[in-house]
Amino acid sequence: MITPGNPVPDFEALSTGDKTVKLSGYRGKYLMLYFYPKDNTPGCTQEGQSFRDNIEKFIALNAIILGVSRDSVRVHEGFKCKQEFPFDLLSDPDEKLCQLFDVIKMKNMYGKQVRGIERSTFLIDPEGLLVREWRKVKVKSHCEEVLQTLYELTSN
């Protein structure tokens, strides 16, 4: 498991836009990696829309956004297109990224215990260090929390 203040191991994942994304490809920029349970669900849609609607603020702060779930690239493509997300979505069907960031948890769904992604966000600095993590994210105020952290980091 990765903890704040430590380097994030380089990883590779399939992405929308028919790309293979590597963490090392984002050196020199902040990378906000947000994990969410499932495409086309209300909370995940709202979270992505919030990041979409604030994309210019992230760009101004030298930050790239990438979303991650276990959905396939094909499903991601439809979700990204429908919601007009200006950022890529990574597919993690084998849960390698989910395990690296320790976001797979047992959750209650309709009275049953199921394994699923705990909504979480990780902010990686331009040198590849994890500088901040948010777990058990509440969608409503989350985008502003991340932006506030970026403002603080970039104003020093």
Known catalytic residues?
Answer: 44
Contact 154, 57 (CB under 8 A): no
The 10 Å Cβ neighbour count of residue 81 is 10
Could you give the CA distance from residue 138 to residue 142 in angstroms, rounded to a whole number? 6
33 has which bridge partners?
66, 122
> Which residue stretches of 31-138 are H helix?
42-53, 55-60, 73-83, 96-100
User: Residues 6 or more apart from 115 whose CB is under 8 A from it?
Assistant: 104, 105, 106, 107
Q: Within 13 A of 54's CA, how many CA atoms are on the CB side?
A: 21
